[in-house]
Amino acid sequence: MKTILSEQQLSLTVKRLAHQILENHLQLAGTVIIGLQPRGIFLSDRIVNELKTIIAPELIHYGKLDITFYRDDVRKSLHIANKTDIPFSIENRKVVLIDDVLYTGRTIRAALDALLAFGRPSHVSLCVLIDRRFSRELPIQPDYTGKVIDTFISQKVKVCWKEKDDREQVILLDS
């Protein structure tokens, strides 16, 4: 086991990502933030909370998207659906998708398919905490990245959150 981000580094990374999003989407005008269920919402909740300390909370349009039934592996294994909560239209809006780890790109492909059920965005960007760049199966790249790491296929990245794991850190596990 190797620590990729400590609790302090994780907190600083979340602040940086929030500032980068705001830098490219001034006052979030015409922009919505969508966290991907289940694990991406821990990161998106933190980014949104950080944004609320910088700009007026009413300027932030935040939703959560479940992609369970858009996954291409849904028939291979059992997945438990989560709640989708997008109380606004994304039609002609800029969307910032947020997930914890970008690995093969299949989750993001499913998220793009699922988004279309809520309208056609004018632009979609991707924010991830960890980019496992050499593992991609699809041509998907993040616009905002907390940390880029090189891993073997046999390794696993685990993002630990206080609400779920009683600690905050990102670790690399060898199988």
Q: What angle do CA 141, 74, 164 make, to 5 degrees?
A: 70
Map out the domains of the chain with their CATH numbers: 2-174 (3.40.50.2020)
Q: What is the pLDDT of residue 82?
A: 78
Residue labelled with tokens 């779920």? 164
Residue 70 pLDDT: 76
Place of tokens 């947020």: 98
Residue ranges in the chain modelled with pLDDT below 50: none
pLDDT tens, residue by residue, 85-110: 999 999 999 999 999 999 999 999 99
Structure tokens at 131: 């980019």
Structure-block tokens of residue 41: 């919402």
Q: Strand order in 94-102's β-sheet?
A: 62-65, 31-36, 94-102, 123-132, 144-149
Q: What pLDDT sits at residue 69?
A: 74
Which amino acid appears at position 53 of this protein?
T
In tens, the pLDDT along 139-163 reads: 999 999 999 999 998 999 999 999 9
pTM score = 0.93
